[in-house]
Chain A
């Protein structure tokens, strides 16, 4: 019901009468409750992939489906968390979180209960009436995540959500997201250019080429995580210290690096 399928998707931009290909022949399936991260160099079109699932942009050829149905526009079943948070500045934390619920027509009492739950889950106690400008970047992103989760979406789309945060806050948020995702699993598509983040968070990591973006390879991180027991470790530093982690990370780095030598002719990879 929440499987994402990219079927031979391409996207090109038209400017001054010429076509600029951004994405070429993307074939990808994100399974139910699977956490897939896409990494790639700037401008490779990874954000465009996310936006096509969100229904904010559309492919020029091919089709993007979610749960078997073609994506026709944005909707609350595919909630988005943006890099710049996109919180409504004139609404308080609580009002931001309940926004989607209000749009759905949920009654006030039910909304209050849901908000309270998420406030506690995301550690926002005491900030319910605060306005976004009064919060730090990390807190704001927590609100954004709560806002998306409050809709109980089948699919969660995260577009470099921690890109605007400083390094320490970023690590904390990554830890929290892992805990959240394990507790409330759902289909997640996560865009990032930070390789470590992708390896730490995802079940599979998709590596894209530079523009025009194609899938270079897909790496099954989940298998390594299970085999090496990363989930047993408490802290992110410990996980990132694991030789298996370092190995995967280095592999992906190399993969991204090599693209500077090739002329972009990479084949769409299989699983590793």
Chain B
């Protein structure tokens, strides 16, 4: 048992290494037909191609940048509107009563279901994508900020009251910090939703972007490039998630590790 923690990375490496080896083996021996999937070599070639010469009218970093930019835009607006709204709804029964019904109606509609409507309204360009990303990222932010306010320990509120606090200071120094953990949960979910929605939107129709790479590669029947696209989606998504986690740790230095 003592070696468990040293053993873990070794096993992890072995596991991934083993999977890669199997990948190479299956594609080299034809167990997986070439039309269906790519070999490691073909993957490397496709990656090289899109990085240096470009594919689907742009290089990899340009596609990635386009995608990330749209996500950032939609996410930022959604959070800027959603978090304050959620906090307000959590604190004020009146705000909750007013905003809840439309919210409840719109909530069950999955974000991706907004794509066709967005396209009808705004065409196949970036505007439609940002709209859908906004819708996708908006809901989790509101809900989690709301929950954050509702789950503040009553004793903390009472303590603040008995110490003579007034509203402005209360909002700044008690309400928001207390709700921060939940707010960040909401941000995480919002980011996830935003990213998924962006990829889906670009798959449906776009001029540039990682989803567009996937779409073009599918049409060209180019499995290696599909794989490159998927890996790029994973890497970008992962990078943004880690960045958010870092921001979370910085914003809440009081949390036990």
Contacts and interface: CB of A to CB of B under 8 A. Distances in A.
Q: Do chains A and B touch in the complex (CB under 8 A)?
A: yes
Interface of A: 54-56, 73-76, 78-80, 82, 84, 86-92, 99-100, 102-104, 131-134, 147, 151
A100 B155 contact: no
The 5 closest A-B pairs by CB, nearest first: A76-B164, A100-B163, A86-B159, A90-B177, A74-B161
* Residue of A86, A87, A102, A131 ringed by the most chain B CB atoms within 10 A: A86
Contacts of B173: 88, 91, 99, 102
Contacts of A151: 163-164
Contact of A54 (B162, B253, B254): B162
Contacts of A75: 162, 164
Contacts of A92: 254
B165 interface: yes
B209 to A, nearest CB: 39
B162 A84 contact: no
B178 A90 contact: yes
A92 B254 CA distance: 8
A104 B177 contact: no
B163 A89 contact: no
B254 A74 contact: no
A132 B256 CA distance: 10
A102 B169 contact: yes
Given A86-B156, A90-B178, A80 B254 contact: no
25 contacts: A54-B158, A54-B162, A55-B162, A56-B158, A56-B162, A74-B164, A76-B162, A76-B163, A84-B155, A86-B155, A86-B158, A88-B174, A88-B178, A90-B178, A91-B173, A91-B254, A99-B163, A100-B163, A100-B164, A102-B173, A103-B164, A103-B169, A131-B253, A133-B256, A151-B164
Given A103-B163, A103-B169, A80 B158 contact: yes
B180 interface: yes
**Chain A interface helix/strand/loop/mixed:** loop
Contact of B158 (A74, A91, A132): A74
B108 to A, nearest CB: 34
A166 to B, nearest CB: 20
B166 A79 contact: no
Interface string B151-190: 0010110111111111001000110011010000000000
A99 B256 CA distance: 22
B87 to A, nearest CB: 16
A93 to B, nearest CB: 11
Given A76-B164, A103-B163, A133-B254, A88 B177 contact: yes
A79 B178 contact: no
Contacts of B256: 133-134
Given A56-B158, A74-B158, A88-B156, A103 B174 contact: no
B65 interface: no
B252 interface: yes
A132 B162 CA distance: 19
Nearest to A87: B159
Contact of A89 (B158, B166, B254): B254
A88 B180 CA distance: 13
A73 to B, nearest CB: 8
Nearest to A144: B159
Interface in B81-126: none
Contacts of A79: 162-163
Contacts of A55: 162
B200 to A, nearest CB: 37
B163 A56 contact: no
